[in-house]
């Protein structure tokens, strides 16, 4: 079964998505997600370099193709390279599954569990709103929730919206074509507030569910250690992205100061971003999604090593990873032993006009789907009706104007 054609579909049904389509001489079509939020055209360009290398290759040789694109290239790693290799890898797993008539998780060893626990985002302008939103999600059956609220004294807080429903409609982004929003950040206001938010959620709703919070890389290691310590009484499932992620050594300091579990890596793309973190047991959860982590082939290998160190998965699942990438996350999550949780932020309604079939959440868990391949169907004509819509994530400045991490 040879690859005879490749095409990059960039469309924006509410969110921008980069989808690679590969076709075999048997007429089997495979899809892979390579979306990198705010840098979509870069992945598209990289994939244009890869497509000629794929034509004529045996589509069933997934591992060899991965090694060819990674080991065979002089320039390795990085978000654009690894998202592009991932898109190819997902498309090949999709093709093999479809050709054999089995879902990808069967190719990976079958399911290791009965359901995939997911977490949604619970946000609000006030703590009361967050508590209400969290109560509603628990009522729907969710076993884990992430809580974020507007920090009092800050005009805006990333990931928090005037209306909690906005997150599900994907309204994270500025208007089309706009320059990045500039948000103002004040660490002391944030640190004073978060323990109160988390305490209220536990006081009001109890301990019968998993509780998560995301710091979006904004703290210093010592601040992160302090926050983790404040949150210890509330038995967090994790504190996410406490510090700028690329500084692996920083986690040694955080770990010395807190037993709150740590999750990191939604901006990572390779085992080598985790080598210190995992082998020194500095983290508890891997956040890298299939889309950004070199595909199922690389992330599966990474999770295999992580398992030896007791580190579990919590793959990134925002609405800026396409339903194809979400499906790939789910197939890997079904199959690995060391699954932790799957983030499932949800999608704007228009997404289902283009992605007409993809994994869904019911009663807070991903529904097992035995559709062959990744199980995602795409209406390519509909995709053309939603052209690319350039958008940027916001940037973040301290109150004195200094550019800050996020
Ligand atoms: C967030 C994301 O889901 C998360 O944990 O950190 O919303 C993230 O900021 C976006 O996916 C960035 O593209
Ligand atoms: Mg995050």
pLDDT tens readout for residues 95-129: 999 999 999 999 999 999 999 999 999 999 999 99
Return the pLDDT at 277. 98
Mean pLDDT of the chain: 95
Return the pLDDT at 175. 66
Told to judge if 216 belongs to the known catalytic residues of this protein, a careful annotator would answer yes
Binning pLDDT at 50, 70 and 90, where does residue 248 land?
very high
Decide if pLDDT at 167 tops 60: no
- Between 327 and 406, where is the model more confident? 327
Return the pLDDT at 89. 99
Closest atom, ligand 1, to C-alpha of 317: 3
pLDDT mean over 173-201: 91
One domain, residues 173 and 301: yes
Contact 23, 29 (CB under 8 A): yes
Question: Domain residues for 82?
Answer: 3-103
Closest atom, ligand 1, to C-alpha of 158: 9
Does 167 reside within a domain? yes
pLDDT tens readout for residues 334-373: 999 999 999 999 999 999 999 999 999 999 999 999 999 9
Does 390 reside within a domain? no
Return the pLDDT at 168. 46
Q: Whose CA is nearest to atom 10 of ligand 1?
A: 318
Contact 95, 110 (CB under 8 A): no
pLDDT tens readout for residues 376-387: 999 999 999 999
Return the pLDDT at 174. 63
Please provide the DSSP assignment of 95-116 as one string. Answer: HHHHHHTSBHHHHTT--SSS-E
Given 103, 130, 154, which residue is the final one in a domain?
103
Does 258 reside within a domain? yes
Distance of alpha carbon 149 from alpha carbon 126, whole angstroms: 6
One domain, residues 33 and 142: no
Please give the distance, rounded to the nearest whole angstrom, from the Cα atom of residue 94 to the centre of ligand 2.
27
Does 396 reside within a domain? no
One domain, residues 58 and 123: no
Q: What is the CATH number of the domain that holds 57?
A: 3.30.390.10
Closest to 321 measured CA to CA, from 343, 300, 337: 343
One domain, residues 337 and 275: yes
pLDDT mean over 6-22: 98
Choice among 121, 161, 213, 216 that is catalytic: 216
Decide if pLDDT at 55 tops 90: yes
Q: Whose CA is nearest to atom 13 of ligand 1?
A: 37
Given 77, 103, 129, which residue is the final one in a domain?
103
One domain, residues 67 and 150: no
Decide if pLDDT at 388 tops 60: yes
Please give the distance, rounded to the nearest whole angstrom, from the Cα atom of residue 271 to the centre of ligand 1.
20
Closest atom, ligand 1, to C-alpha of 241: 6
- Between 334 and 175, where is the model more confident? 334
Closest atom, ligand 1, to C-alpha of 287: 5
Please give the distance, rounded to the nearest whole angstrom, from the Cα atom of residue 120 to the centre of ligand 1.
12
Does 399 reside within a domain? no
pLDDT tens readout for residues 136-150: 999 999 999 999 999
One domain, residues 128 and 98: no
The tally of domains found in the chain comes to 2
Told to judge if 158 belongs to the known catalytic residues of this protein, a careful annotator would answer yes
Given 103, 137, 168, which residue is the final one in a domain?
103
Decide if pLDDT at 165 tops 60: no
Contact 6, 31 (CB under 8 A): no
Return the pLDDT at 160. 86
Return the pLDDT at 161. 63
Choice among 31, 46, 119, 158 that is catalytic: 158
pLDDT tens readout for residues 202-212: 999 999 999 99
Q: Whose CA is nearest to atom 4 of ligand 1?
A: 318
Distance of alpha carbon 116 from alpha carbon 336, whole angstroms: 11
Does 376 reside within a domain? no
DSSP 234: G
Q: Which of 18, 36, 266 to mutate to test the pocket of ligand 1 (most atoms within 8 A of CB)?
A: 266
Please give the distance, rounded to the nearest whole angstrom, from the Cα atom of residue 318 to the centre of ligand 1.
6
Decide if pLDDT at 166 tops 80: no
One domain, residues 218 and 283: yes
pLDDT mean over 183-202: 97
Distance of alpha carbon 85 from alpha carbon 70, whole angstroms: 7
One domain, residues 128 and 207: yes
Closest to 167 measured CA to CA, from 145, 141, 197: 145
pLDDT mean over 32-53: 98
One domain, residues 277 and 305: yes
Does 405 reside within a domain? no
| Ligand 1, CB within 6 Å, residue ranges | 37, 159, 214, 216, 266, 316, 318, 320, 343, 345, 393
How far, CA to CA in Å, does 327 sit from each of 120, 175, 205? 16, 28, 31
Q: Whose CA is nearest to atom 1 of ligand 1?
A: 318
pLDDT tens readout for residues 72-86: 999 999 999 999 999
Return the pLDDT at 177. 74
Share of the chain above pLDDT 90, in %: 93
Decide if pLDDT at 272 tops 50: yes
Please give the distance, rounded to the nearest whole angstrom, from the Cα atom of residue 240 to the centre of ligand 2.
6
Does 325 reside within a domain? yes
By three-state DSSP, how is residue 313 classified? strand
Could you give the count of Cα atoms lying within 13 Å of 392 in the half-sphere of its Cβ?
Answer: 10
Closest atom, ligand 1, to C-alpha of 318: 3
Dihedral sign (CA 368, 374, 377, 381): positive
One domain, residues 238 and 122: yes
Please give the distance, rounded to the nearest whole angstrom, from the Cα atom of residue 243 to the centre of ligand 2.
11
One domain, residues 202 and 235: yes
One domain, residues 212 and 143: yes
Q: Whose CA is nearest to atom 8 of ligand 1?
A: 318
In what side-by-side order are the strands of the sheet with 342-343?
342-343, 116-119, 365-366, 361-362
Q: Whose CA is nearest to atom 6 of ligand 1?
A: 216
Please give the distance, rounded to the nearest whole angstrom, from the Cα atom of residue 126 to the centre of ligand 1.
21
pLDDT mean over 34-59: 98
Return the pLDDT at 178. 80
pLDDT mean over 181-205: 97
Q: Which of 39, 174, 214 to mutate to test the pocket of ligand 1 (most atoms within 8 A of CB)?
A: 214
Q: What is the CATH number of the domain that holds 127?
A: 3.20.20.120
């Amino acid at each position: 079964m040879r690859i005879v054609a490749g095409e990059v579909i960039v469309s924006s049904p509410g969110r921008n998505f980069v989808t690679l389509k590969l076709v075999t001489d048997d007429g089997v079509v495979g899809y892979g997600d390579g979306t990198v939020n705010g840098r979509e055209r870069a992945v598209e360009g990289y994939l244009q370099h890869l497509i000629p290398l794929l034509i004529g290759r045996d589509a069933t040789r997934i591992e060899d193709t991965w090694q060819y694109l990674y080991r065979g290239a002089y320039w390795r790693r990085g978000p654009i390279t690894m998202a592009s290799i991932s898109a190819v890898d997902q498309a090949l797993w999709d093709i093999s599954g479809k050709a054999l008539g089995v879902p990808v998780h069967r190719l990976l060893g079958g399911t290791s569990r009965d359901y995939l626990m997911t977490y949604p985002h619970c946000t609000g302008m006030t703590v009361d709103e967050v508590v209400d939103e969290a109560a509603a999600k628990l009522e729907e059956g969710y076993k884990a929730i992430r809580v974020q609220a507007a920090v009092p004294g800050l005009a805006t807080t990333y990931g928090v919206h005037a209306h909690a429903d906005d997150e599900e409609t994907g309204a994270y982004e500025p208007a089309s074509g706009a320059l990045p929003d500039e948000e103002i950040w004040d660490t002391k206001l944030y640190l004073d507030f978060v323990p109160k938010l988390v305490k209220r959620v536990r006081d009001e709703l109890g301990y019968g569910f998993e509780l998560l919070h995301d710091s979006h890389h904004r703290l210093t290691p010592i601040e992160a250690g302090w926050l983790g310590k404040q949150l210890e009484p509330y038995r967090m499932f994790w504190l996410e992205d406490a510090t700028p992620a690329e500084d692996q050594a920083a986690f040694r300091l955080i770990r010395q100061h807190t037993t709150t579990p740590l999750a990191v890596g939604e901006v990572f793309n390779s085992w080598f971003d985790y080598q210190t973190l995992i082998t020194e047991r500095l983290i508890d959860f891997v956040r890298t999604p299939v889309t950004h982590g070199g595909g199922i082939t690389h992330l599966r290998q990474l999770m295999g090593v992580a398992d030896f160190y007791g580190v579990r998965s919590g793959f990134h699942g925002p609405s800026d990873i396409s339903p194809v990438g979400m499906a790939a996350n789910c197939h890997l999550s079904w199959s690995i032993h060391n699954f932790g949780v799957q983030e499932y932020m949800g999608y704007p309604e228009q997404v289902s006009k283009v992605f007409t079939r993809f994994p869904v959440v019911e009663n807070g868990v991903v529904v097992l789907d035995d559709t062959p391949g990744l199980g995602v169907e795409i209406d390519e004509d509909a995709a053309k009706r939603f052209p690319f819509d350039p958008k940027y994530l916001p940037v973040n400045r301290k109150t004195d104007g200094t550019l800050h991490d996020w």
